[in-house]
Amino acid sequence: MFRESSMSLELASTREVCPGVVLAHVRWRMIGHEFGGPDHTSDPRTGIWSWMVHDRDGSAEIVSSQNTDTVEVPDDHPLSEGQPRG
């Protein structure tokens, strides 16, 4: 499903939660994939990855990862308040 896809990543935020451990949020965008995602289309997909990163002898090691597709909230939905308007 992802053989022909391409993904771009952007670091959105980081926060050190204890010495040597960082929580990172990474925005992603994927194009060129086969049908999938919440809408079951081949349209570009966007999402957010949450990574827990540990310093392991001077190298970053991702010890936990959560990936979530993001979708637009319709203007008439109660959760749309405060969303940037495009």
> What are 17's two structure tokens?
């939660």
Does 84 score more than 60 pLDDT? no
- pLDDT tens-place string over residues 15-66: 999 999 999 999 999 998 877 766 677 888 899 999 999 999 999 999 999 9
> What fold, for 6-70?
Nuclear Transport Factor 2; Chain: A, (3.10.450)
- The confidence score (pLDDT) of residue 86 equals 46
- The confidence score (pLDDT) of residue 26 equals 96
Q: Which residues pair with 85 in a beta bridge?
A: none
- The confidence score (pLDDT) of residue 45 equals 86
Cα of 20 vs its chain's centroid, Å: 22
For residues 78 and 58, give the distance between their C-alpha atoms in angstroms, rounded to a whole number: 45
